């Protein structure tokens, strides 16, 4: 009996360890980052709108290249609409929005943190968790590939900066928001 229990535990340990490992954070490169997913290679596009101040706007978007013709934009499902980008607003004081891209095997999730208020305020952040989703049925009005909003959570603490909120509250969206 002891040998069987040990054998079973030895076989299950790698699977349990793999399931408990956190997703890898994908760091956007200078402009384009290729990510391998279950739906094939997609590209994260990181661009900026210069505002001639400390309050530039960065944009995060994704697309899938096509064999011929234009690339397919991968939109974010938000409140029943599909938005092509997530704006990241930051300034000299703090970032009011931020993004983390998480890859767990071939699964890809995007966490978008946002808060209300002024640049210097400390307020709770709202985290929207999106997961790359393929629409198999060809439902009219739904993209064939998009980031479906899977959950929303609010930070436990007030923060000024989105990056700090994303780092300190990672347990809220990494494991708990599947």
Domain count, the chain: 1
* Mean pLDDT of the region 73-81: 93
The answer to the question of residue 137 being in a domain is yes
Helix (H, G, I), strand (E, B) or coil at 19: helix
Q: Point out the least confidently predicted range of 53-57, 151-155, 158-162.
A: 53-57
Is the Cβ–Cβ distance between 35 and 42 less than 8 Å?
yes
The answer to the question of residue 63 being in a domain is yes
Domain enclosing residue 143, as ranges? 22-174
The answer to the question of residue 129 being in a domain is yes
pLDDT digits (tens, 9 = 90+) for 162-175: 999 999 999 888 76
The answer to the question of residue 3 being in a domain is no
User: E-strand spans in the chain?
Assistant: 24-26, 32-37, 40-49, 57-64, 72-78, 81-83, 86-89, 97-104, 107-114, 123-134, 145-159
The answer to the question of residue 10 being in a domain is no
Indicate the helix (H) or strand (E) that contains 18: helix 2-20
Distance (Å, whole) CA 178 – CA 166? 16
The answer to the question of residue 49 being in a domain is yes
* pTM for this model (two decimals): 0.82
The answer to the question of residue 57 being in a domain is yes
The answer to the question of residue 6 being in a domain is no
């Amino acid at each position: 009996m002891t040998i069987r229990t040990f054998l079973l535990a030895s076989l299950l340990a790698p699977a349990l360890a793999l399931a408990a490992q956190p997703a890898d954070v994908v760091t956007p490169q200078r402009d384009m980052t290729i990510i391998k997913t279950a739906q094939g290679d997609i590209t994260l596009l990181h661009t900026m709108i210069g505002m001639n101040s400390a309050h530039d706007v960065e944009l995060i978007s994704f697309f899938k290249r096509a064999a011929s013709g234009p690339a397919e934009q991968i939109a974010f499902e938000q409140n029943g609409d599909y938005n092509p980008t997530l704006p990241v607003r930051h300034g000299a004081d703090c970032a009011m929005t931020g993004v983390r891209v998480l890859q767990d095997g071939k699964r890809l999730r995007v966490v978008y943190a946002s808060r209300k208020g002024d640049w210097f305020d400390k307020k709770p952040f709202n985290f929207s968790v999106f997961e790359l989703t393929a629409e198999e049925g060809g439902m009219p009005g739904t993209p064939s590939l998009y980031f479906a909003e899977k959950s929303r959570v609010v930070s436990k603490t007030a923060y000024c900066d989105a990056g700090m909120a994303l780092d300190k509250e990672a347990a809220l969206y990494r494991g708990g928001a599947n």
